[in-house]
Each structure stands twice: as structure tokens, then as C-alpha cells.
């Protein structure tokens, strides 16, 4: 049946040799010839449970394809990557080797074992692949790798090809599926892209091209939003391949930036978006993991109170308003400790030895986690929390670092300051980034006295830092939302150089939020889905039944770390709590769950669909009790324990990105 559908699709959309051909040089022709000589008949794949017990034609096979399940590349798992035809459809599988890779350190060996089955890819239908992103290291230093992104938005961890074989893979792919380069990114290859105008994703909606949401709504027939995740709870490759998507067409343009402002007004584009996504995705849910989640739930909530929400609607209280007084239930989150007083000047001095070293960094982070920092100390303490200063650095070392970093900052800044108007005319990327930054800074935190008013010099400094960062990290550049992160840092530091370096270090952790393929955001939203399933199965079940498992309604929360949900003073407190990484690097995800649980009875009782839920979440801005939310999030994080940590794949922001042989991952525009 699947083969007939593929054949029908191919008949409707005949392959164009010009679009389908990926041959940039003679290597492709050689690779294609080589791959055709290695096609063999295999039936053992079916024995491994890849799909049904049917014969499989292996069209590509490569040993030594590697993933890095741990941070900083300290461990590897090598395996065999295969492409095979079965019943007329093309599938991809990756089977890990039994032995630990010899490159793995002894300390990482035990940690790797628990990831072996987690990342196994049993049978991925290529019909479910949205696009493949290829990375080739500059100057051939390091390994090539690919990232596979599904039509649902799920993204696999990078597959590294240390011993070549990537060209042969693409040569085999192009013989069996329709695959073309993205017009916007030569490293992105769209799979089965049939140019259906109703299949454009959110990522193709760039703000400059959308004059207003009203205009977007008037052009409803020209685009749609395809973000509903049928099985968002499956965050690992082995489990993601257990479902078979009903979607036959892929989005047109996955390589473009996602606009925050479009998402903020997404709730206005309601019925059309919901109807479109509902018609594209169908329910196909496995209840096994849900049963496991209920076993964990007994530590967090009263099952008897929650079971009634699973199948029966709840009548909301009359006159209820979206405030903290509207609670989902009386959650027995007794483990959350009361919030403490902020770190005082006297307490801070007690943490330092005579030469200025922090003597107990864990105790300091614990203090900040439970109470925050007195504002007069933030300029000093934030540098430690963000990693600009080492905890064991001395006063003298920090003074020397400040001088060196200021010199380095001025050198980077001079790169764009020295661009003449004549050069700028020939530097499109610079003009585009500068124009976007100029527009954003004048509308960032203008209600805060530090940034209000015309001709405000602090706004000029904000712009200069962002422009300098776009030259410091030219691959990432500038994206909307970065100014939201920088504004509080500059407000606290009141120093251009130190603000820049603190911001740059923060972007090392959160820069993936702004990746063009949205991989960082997808990873966090999928981890959030699994955590909700673990900690609140009834709520997860409700989201599943209402096509809300993509968790896009939490997009703004995650993207800019709740910046729009709390006041300026509150966000400084929240961020310093998050930066401690005291209980978890991903404490912001538990905070999301705490807020959702607090309003669960209203969400379920009013039978909110996706659009209503998104509107409701946006309207919570300024109405969330931060102290209570932090207490609840602490309780949830403590109860989840190792099971919660296992829901979050390594490298998920704000964890530091996984390091490869070529250095930290960056998005480079390299041609295959």
C-alpha cells in the first residue's frame, strides 16, 4: 500500500532531472556507480524488527557511522547505517555496534551503555523525512555529519561519517526518493518536496515578508502551518521510528528563520491553522510509555483527583480568570522549599577567600537558587554564574582578564566600525543584520527607564554589542530575541565589553535556540513533552487528544526564557536562578510544567484546543506567581530525578553544545 502511494505521488509529480540531480562534481557519478554494485538482498533486517517480516533490498550500507551521546564528544557509539527497500518503500536504519568505540574514554564507557538502545534507529521511512542537513568541516578538518529532521519536527542526533561514505549515501538517496537542495540553504536537502502550497511550515514565515497578521490571514489559501507533532513524546530515535506518519507531503522551505512576532500572534490565525494541521496528522499513539509515566506520577500528584480529567470534561468555575488563583488541583508539591532572602553583601564576602576565590561554588549556587542575588551584587556575581569568571580566579586574575577582554572586544568591534558606506553597498549580509538590529533595539525594554526615551545612549550600546556579536559569531549572526537576552545583562553590567562577553558566553548555551533548522527549540520542546508525560500523564493525554503535543504554545517561554512573562526585575531573579544549574541545567523545562500544572484544571475544564491554549498561555504574561512557580518546579525536578534527566538528550540547550573533532558545532553555509 505504501509503495502504491509513493508511486502515485511520483506520477503526480514527475522527477525533474534538473531539480533531482545533486551532482556537483564527478564524485557523485562514481558514488552512484559504486552504490549500484553493492545492492544486495537481505532478510535479517526484518528479524531485528525493522518493519514487517519481508525481504529487504539493501541499497546502501556503511559501517563506522557514529553518534556522540555525551557532551564534548567524550564518548562515541559507532554503528551500521543502512538504506533498504521493503515493499516498495525506502527505509533507513542505524544499528549500534555491541562494543564501545575505542575512542571513548573509560569514564564515559558506563554512561554510553545506557544510550546504546536509546539511539537505535530500527526503521525510518524516508516518506517521514522532511529534510537532511549536511555539514562539511572547513579545510577538511574534522568529520562530515548529517542531521535528519522529520516532517513532525523531530530531529535525530548528528550522524558522523569519520571514514567517508556521505556522498555515496546521497547518491543512493537520489535514486529512490525525490530530493532537492533548499534555495535558501545549500546545505539543506528537501526530501519528497512536492511543492504543495498547503505544506509550508512556520519556519518559512519571516517577519519582513508578513506585513501584519491580518494580511497573513487574508492570504490563508497561500500557506498553512504544519507543526502538529503526532508523536512528540518520542524524543529518541529508536522510539520515534515506531510510528508511521500519514503525511505524504513535506514543507517547502525549512531553512528560514522563525519569527517570534509571528508566533506571538499565531493565536489569531486560528481555525485555518488548526484545520490544516488536523488534516495532515492523525493519531497513532503507543500507550506503553504512558503506563510507565503513571507509575512515576504517584510521587507527584493524587491519582484519584486526576483520573477524572482523563476521559470526562470538567466544568470550570464561574467567573474564573487567568490568574494564579485558578489552580489545576491542590498539588501536594511539599518538597519545594520556601524562597530565601537574596544573597547579601555580607554573605557574598564570606564566600570569598582573601585573594578573591569562591571557596564553595556549590553552596553559592544553592544560595542563589533559593534566594537570588541582591541587585548591588549582580554585576559581580553574574559573571561567575555565566562563566565569564572562574570560581577559583583571584581578584588580580579577574582584573587582568577584564583588560585583555576589553582589548579583544574593541578589535572585533572595529571590524564593522571600519566598513565604509561604499563597502556596505557591497556587503548585503552586513546591511541586512544591521537593519534588523536597528529595528529591534528601539523596541526592546523601552518601558525600563534605562532604555526609555529618544537618543538614549544605552540603546546605542545595545546595538553596538549586537552588531559586534554578529561579527564574533558570523555563522549564527543576529536573530530576533537576542536583544531580549542582552538588555538585562547590559543593564546590570553597565559596561560594554563585559556585557558583550557575558552575552557571548550565554549564547554558547542558548545560541541553538536560534538555529535556522530550529533543532535547539525542537529538542527542548520534545524533552518538555516527555517530561509532561512522566510527571503529569493526564495532562499529556489531554494534549495528545487535542493535537497539542508539539508544545508550540510554550515556544515563547523556551525561546527567550520567560522574558515576556515576568517583569524586568522578576526576570533578572529568574535568570540568575536558572544560571546556577543547581538542580538541573534544564530547570526552565520543569518551570514550564509547573505553570501548566497550576492551570491544568482550567485548560482541561474549558476543553481548550491548540489555538485557545496558545492565546491563554500568552495572556498569562504578568500574572504568574514566580516564587510559587519556582517552588513547584523544584518539587517536580526533585521527584523526576534520573528519570527526568533521561528524558532530555545530551546537548539539549542550555547544555553546552556537543563538541566534535572540528570544534563546537556551527551552522556553516557550505556546498555539498
pLDDT in tens, 322-364: 334 444 444 444 456 888 999 999 999 999 999 999 999 999 9
Tens of pLDDT, residue by residue over 115-170, are 666 778 888 998 889 889 888 776 566 688 898 988 766 777 889 998 888 989 99
Cα 38 to Cα 59: distance, rounded to the nearest angstrom: 7
Tens of pLDDT, residue by residue over 164-216, are 889 899 999 988 888 888 877 788 888 875 443 333 333 333 333 333 333 33
Tens of pLDDT, residue by residue over 573-617, are 999 999 999 999 999 999 999 999 999 999 999 999 999 999 999
Rounded to two decimals, what is the model's pTM? 0.57
Across the chain, mean pLDDT equals 74
Tens of pLDDT, residue by residue over 454-483, are 999 999 999 999 999 999 999 999 999 999
The total of other beta-carbon atoms located within 10 Å of residue 6's CB is 21
Is the predicted pLDDT of residue 236 greater than 90, yes or no? no
- The mean pLDDT of 645-672, rounded to a whole number, is 63
Cα distance between the two ends of the chain: 34
Which of 47-61, 263-277, 546-560 reaches the highest mean pLDDT? 546-560
Please give the pLDDT value at position 362: 96
- DSSP for 371-405 reads H-B-HHHHHHHHHHHHTSS-TT--HHHHHHHHHHH
Please give the pLDDT value at position 659: 53
What percent of the chain shows pLDDT beyond 70? 63
Higher pLDDT, 439 or 135: 439
What backbone torsions phi and psi does residue 671 show, to the nearest 5 degrees? -95, 135
What are the grid coordinates assigned to 98, written together? 555491541
Confidence of residue 312 (pLDDT cuts 50, 70, 90): very low
CB 35, CB 59: distance < 8 Å: yes
CA 464 to chain centre: 27
The runs of H, that is alpha helices, within 231-326 are: 237-240, 260-264, 271-280, 288-297, 303-311
Cα 490 to Cα 503: distance, rounded to the nearest angstrom: 9
Domains of the chain: 2-320 (2.30.29.230), 345-514 (1.10.8.270), 519-645 (1.10.472.80)
Please give the pLDDT value at position 111: 57
Cα 386 to Cα 579: distance, rounded to the nearest angstrom: 7
CA 539 to chain centre: 22
Which of 14-18, 101-105, 512-516, 624-628 reaches the highest mean pLDDT? 624-628
SS (H, E, C) 576-603: HHHHCCCCCCCHHHHHHHHHHHHCHHHH
Sort 540 into a burial class: Cβ within 10 Å, 0-12 / 13-18 / 19+: buried
Is the predicted pLDDT of residue 538 greater than 80, yes or no? yes
What backbone torsions phi and psi does residue 453 show, to the nearest 5 degrees? 90, 160
Higher pLDDT, 55 or 320: 55
Cα 238 to Cα 235: distance, rounded to the nearest angstrom: 9
Tens of pLDDT, residue by residue over 631-644, are 999 999 999 999 99
Confidence of residue 506 (pLDDT cuts 50, 70, 90): very high
Cα 423 to Cα 432: distance, rounded to the nearest angstrom: 14
Please give the pLDDT value at position 539: 96
Please give the pLDDT value at position 334: 45
CB 243, CB 237: distance < 8 Å: no
Tens of pLDDT, residue by residue over 29-66, are 444 454 444 444 344 444 444 444 457 889 999 999 98
Amino acid at each position: 500500500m505504501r509503495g502504491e502511494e509513493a508511486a502515485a505521488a511520483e506520477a503526480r509529480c514527475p522527477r525533474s532531472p534538473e531539480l533531482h540531480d545533486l551532482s556537483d562534481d564527478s564524485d557523485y557519478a562514481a558514488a552512484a556507480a559504486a552504490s549500484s554494485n553493492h545492492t544486495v538482498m537481505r532478510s535479517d533486517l526484518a528479524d531485528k524488527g525493522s518493519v514487517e517480516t519481508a525481504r529487504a533490498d539493501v541499497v546502501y550500507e556503511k559501517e563506522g557511522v557514529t553518534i556522540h551521546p555525551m557532551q564534548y564528544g567524550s564518548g562515541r557509539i559507532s554503528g551500521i547505517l543502512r538504506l533498504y527497500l521493503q515493499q516498495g518503500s525506502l527505509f533507513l536504519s542505524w544499528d549500534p555496534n555491541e562494543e564501545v568505540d575505542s575512542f571513548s574514554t573509560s569514564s564515559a564507557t558506563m554512561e554510553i551503555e545506557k544510550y546504546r538502545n536509546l539511539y537505535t534507529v530500527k526503521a525510518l521511512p524516508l516518506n517521514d523525512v522532511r529534510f537532511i542537513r549536511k555539514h562539511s568541516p572547513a579545510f577538511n578538518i574534522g568529520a562530515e555529519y548529517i542531521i535528519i529532521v522529520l516532517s513532525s519536527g523531530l530531529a535525530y542526533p548528528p550522524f558522523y561519517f569519520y571514514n567517508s561514505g556521505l556522498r555515496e549515501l546521497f547518491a543512493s538517496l537520489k535514486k529512490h526518493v525525490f530530493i532537492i537542495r533548499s534555495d535558501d540553504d545549500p546545505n539543506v536537502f528537501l526530501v519528497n518536496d512536492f511543492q504543495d502550497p498547503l505544506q509550508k511550515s512556520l519556519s518559512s514565515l519571516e517577519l519582513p515578508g508578513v506585513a501584519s497578521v491580518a494580511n497573513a490571514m487574508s492570504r490563508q489559501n497561500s500557506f498553512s502551518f504544519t507543526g502538529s507533532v503526532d508523536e512528540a513524546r518520542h524524543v529518541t530515535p529508536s522510539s520515534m521510528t515506531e510510528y508511521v506518519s500519514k503525511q505524504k507531503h513535506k514543507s517547502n522551505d525549512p531553512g528560514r528563520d522563525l519569527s517570534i512576532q509571528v508566533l506571538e500572534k499565531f493565536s489569531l490565525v486560528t481555525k485555518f491553522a488548526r484545520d490544516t494541521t488536523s488534516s495532515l496528522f492523525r493519531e497513532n499513539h503507543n500507550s506503553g510509555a504512558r503506563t510507565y509515566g503513571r507509575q512515576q506520577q504517584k510521587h507527584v500528584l493524587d491519582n484519584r483527583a486526576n483520573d477524572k480529567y482523563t476521559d470526562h470534561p470538567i466544568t470550570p468555575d464561574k467567573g474564573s480568570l487567568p490568574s494564579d488563583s485558578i489552580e489545576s488541583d491542590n498539588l501536594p508539591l511539599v518538597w519545594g522549599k520556601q524562597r530565601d532572602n537574596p544573597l547579601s553583601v555580607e554573605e557574598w564576602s564570606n564566600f570569598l577567600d582573601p585573594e578573591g576565590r569562591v571557596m564553595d561554588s556549590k553552596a553559592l549556587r544553592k544560595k542563589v537558587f533559593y534566594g537570588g542575588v541582591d541587585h548591588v551584587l549582580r554585576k559581580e556575581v553574574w559573571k561567575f554564574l555565566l562563566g565569564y569568571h572562574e570560581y577559583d580566579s583571584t581578584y588580580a586574575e579577574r582584573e587582568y582578564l577584564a583588560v585583555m577582554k576589553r582589548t579583544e572586544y574593541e578589535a572585533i568591534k572595529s571590524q564593522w566600525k571600519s566598513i565604509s558606506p561604499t563597502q556596505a553597498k557591497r556587503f548585503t549580509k552586513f546591511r541586512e543584520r544591521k537593519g534588523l538590529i536597528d529595528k529591534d533595539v528601539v523596541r526592546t525594554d523601552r518601558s525600563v527607564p534605562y532604555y526609555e526615551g529618544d537618543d538614549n545612549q544605552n540603546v546605542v550600546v545595545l546595538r553596538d554589542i549586537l552588531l559586534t556579536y554578529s561579527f564574533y559569531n558570523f555563522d549564527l549572526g543576529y536573530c530576533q530575541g537576542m536583544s531580549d537576552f542582552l538588555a538585562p545583562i547590559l543593564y546590570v553590567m553597565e559596561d560594554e565589553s563585559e556585557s558583550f562577553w557575558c552575552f557571548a558566553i550565554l549564547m554558547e548555551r542558548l545560541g541553538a535556540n536560534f538555529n535556522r533548522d530550529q533543532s535547539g527549540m525542537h529538542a527542548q520542546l520534545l524533552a518538555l513533552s516527555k517530561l509532561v508525560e512522566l510527571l503529569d500523564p493526564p495532562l499529556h493525554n489531554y494534549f495528545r487528544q487535542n493535537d497539542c503535543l508539539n508544545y508550540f504554545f510554550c515556544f515563547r517561554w523556551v525561546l527567550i526564557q520567560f522574558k515576556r512573562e515576568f517583569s524586568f526585575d522578576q526576570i533578572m531573579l529568574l535568570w540568575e536562578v536558572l544560571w546556577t544549574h543547581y538542580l538541573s541545567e534544564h530547570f526552565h523545562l520543569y518551570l514550564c510544567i509547573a505553570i501548566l500544572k497550576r492551570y491544568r484544571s482550567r485548560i482541561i475544564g474549558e476543553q481548550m484546543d491548540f489555538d485557545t491554549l496558545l492565546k491563554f498561555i500568552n495572556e498569562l504574561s504578568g500574572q504568574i506567581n514566580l516564587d510559587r512557580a519556582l517552588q513547584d518546579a523544584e518539587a517536580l525536578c526533585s521527584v523526576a530525578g534520573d528519570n527526568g534527566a533521561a528524558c532530555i538528550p545530551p546537548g539539549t540547550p542550555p547544555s553546552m553544545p556537543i563538541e566534535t573533532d572540528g570544534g563546537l558545532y556551527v551552522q556553516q553555509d557550505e556546498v555539498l
